[in-house]
Amino acid sequence: MSATRTTTATPVLSVQGLNVHIGRRHIVQDVSFTVEPGKTLGLVGESGSGKSMTVLAATGLLDAPGARVRGSSLLGEAQLVGAGAARLRRVHGSQIGFVFQDPSTSLNPLLTVERQITESLEAHSAMSRGRAISRAGELIEAVGLPDPGTKLRSYPHQLSGGQRQRVMIAIALACDPQLLIADEPTTALDVTTQKQVVELVQALQQRTGTAVVWISHDLGVIGRVADDVTVLREGRVVEQAPARQLYAEPRTDYTRELLAARPALGKKRPAPPGDGVPVLTVNHLSVTFRAPRGRTITAVDDVSFTVRRGQTLGLVGQSGSGKSTIANALTGLVPAAAGTATLHHDPGAGRASRDVDLLHVPWLRRRDIRRRVAMVFQDPFASLDPRSRVSGIIDEPLRVHRLAGGPDGRRARVKELLDLVGLGDEYADRHPHELSGGQRQRVSIARALALDPAVLILDESTSALDVSIQARVLDLLADLQRDLGLTYLFIAHDLAVVEQMCHDVLVLRDGRTQEYRPGADLFAEPESAYTNELLAAVPPAEPKSVRPDW
Between residues 252 and 142, the one the model is more confident about: 252
Which residue, among 309, 320, 310, 268, has the nearest Cα to 497 in the 3D structure?
268
Query: Residue 455 has what pLDDT?
Result: 95
State how far the alpha carbon of 199 is from the alpha carbons of 143, 205, 389, in Å: 10, 10, 44
- Euclidean distance between CA atoms 188 and 202, whole angstroms: 19
pLDDT digits (tens, 9 = 90+) for 279-304: 999 999 999 998 777 788 899 999 99
Residues 187-197: pLDDT tens digits?
Answer: 767 788 788 88
Nearest to 507 by CA among 499, 497, 517: 517
Radius of gyration of the chain (CA): 25
Beta-strand relationship, 455-459 and 67-75:
unpaired
Query: What residue ranges do the domains of the chain occupy?
Result: 13-261, 272-372+454-461+474-537
391, pLDDT greater than 60? yes
Average the pLDDT over 251-275 and give the result. 86
Report phi then psi at 338, rounded to 5. Answer: -160, 165
Per-residue pLDDT at 516 exceeds 90: yes
What mean pLDDT value characterizes the chain? 88
Q: What digits encode the pLDDT tens for the residues 86-143?
A: 899 889 988 999 988 778 788 999 999 999 999 888 888 778 888 999 999 988 888 8
**Residue 59 — pLDDT band, cuts 50, 70, 90?**
very high
Kindly report which listed range (149-163, 314-328, 329-343, 439-453) carries the lowest average pLDDT score. Answer: 149-163
Residues found in the chain: 550
For the domain 13-261, what is the CATH superfamily, name and number? P-loop containing nucleotide triphosphate hydrolases (3.40.50.300)
Residue 524 binned pLDDT confidence (cut-offs 50, 70, 90): very high
Checking if the pLDDT of 372 tops 60, the result is yes
- For residue 515, is pLDDT > 70? yes
Q: What is the mean pLDDT of residues 482-495?
A: 91
Q: What is the C-alpha separation between 144 and 485, in angstroms, rounded?
A: 46
Q: What pLDDT, on a 0 to 100 scale, did the predictor assign at position 7?
A: 45
d(CA 391, CA 427): 8
Q: Percent of the chain beyond pLDDT 90?
A: 51
* Architecture of the domain spanning 272-372+454-461+474-537: 3-Layer(aba) Sandwich (3.40)
- Cα–Cα–Cα angle for 25, 26, 27, rounded to 5 degrees: 100
Mean local confidence (pLDDT), 383-403 = 91
Domains 13-261 and 272-372+454-461+474-537 share a fold: yes
In this structure, are residues 523 and 534 in contact, taking their beta carbons and an 8 Å threshold? no
Average pLDDT estimate for 328-337: 92
Bridge-partner residues for 237, per DSSP?
A: 232
Mean pLDDT confidence for 8-13: 80
Expressed in angstroms, the distance from the first to the final Cα of the chain is 25
Q: Are 420 and 448 in contact (CB under 8 A)?
A: no
